[in-house]
Structure 1
């Protein structure tokens, strides 16, 4: 069994954005020769998070719209005395910062429509995701 750690960068394109990171993660799993185990994906930021859901464009718009209505900017947040992004921090607290995903035969073992999604709440920015794979690799007997 091996433990392999690395990171990937993800660029977001709007103040609120959702980016499907399955392709980047799958490429990394192939590069390290992952076979079977568990992948932990952790977002290193307090205004962006991770979820697993369907990547259909209408649903992504619905998620952004609902988060914006639940936690609107400029609603008298105490943190805005320091920085005007309290709503972004609160949204990220609702989304979460990490996901554990099973890996089987070198692939993310997800349901038919499930994808790992970076949820940007204070962009556009370049975001860093930490990847930790624990399991067996192709070079092991």
Structure 2
């Protein structure tokens, strides 16, 4: 059996980490699938999906690390007029941060629950907000 679900987030900040664990667990429970896998995927190239411990101090460290690794004031090639879009690309850092965090995560489901470590949480990462964003969830199992 395959269950597909999606939901929309309205992000508030240019860079933002949002914990999705409870929402994903709720969707898995409502799917009725007892054993299988769940895949969480962002539909945007300047956002990410990642897994880490949900601590405010760690979230700050992650944001600081990405800002140091991918500074806003670097002369990126992508920060130029894109004729195909008819506008200037102002989000090269978003694309690069999303490249680092990845766009998905996958967890096993056993007896109707996501199998993850006690400290693991699923994050949606916004790197070009605020914006309206869509997250896809595919649950495969029986």
How far, CA to CA, are the matches of 1:107 and 1:14 in structure 2?
31
**What are the superposed Cα offsets for residues 72-109 of structure 1, whole Å, 9 maximum, x if unpaired?**
11310111103111011011101101111111121111
* Contact 1:79 1:86 (8 Å CA) reproduced: yes
- Quote the offset at 1:38 in angstroms: 0.4
Unaligned runs of 5+ in 2: 81-87
Q: Does 1:114 pair with 2:120? A: yes
Moved over 3 A (4+): none
How far, CA to CA, are the matches of 1:22 and 1:28 in structure 2?
10
1:75 is matched with: 74
Unaligned runs of 5+ in 1: 137-141
**TM-score normalised over the length of structure 2:** 0.91
State the SS of the aligned residue for 1:35: coil
1:139 is matched with: none
**What are the superposed Cα offsets for residues 14-42 of structure 1, whole Å, 9 maximum, x if unpaired?**
11110000111111112221211101111
Aligned residues between the structures: 135
State the SS of the aligned residue for 2:79: helix
How far, CA to CA, are the matches of 1:47 and 1:66 in structure 2?
17
How far, CA to CA, are the matches of 2:20 and 2:132 in structure 1?
13
**TM-score normalised over the length of structure 1:** 0.91
- Quote the offset at 1:125 in angstroms: 1.7
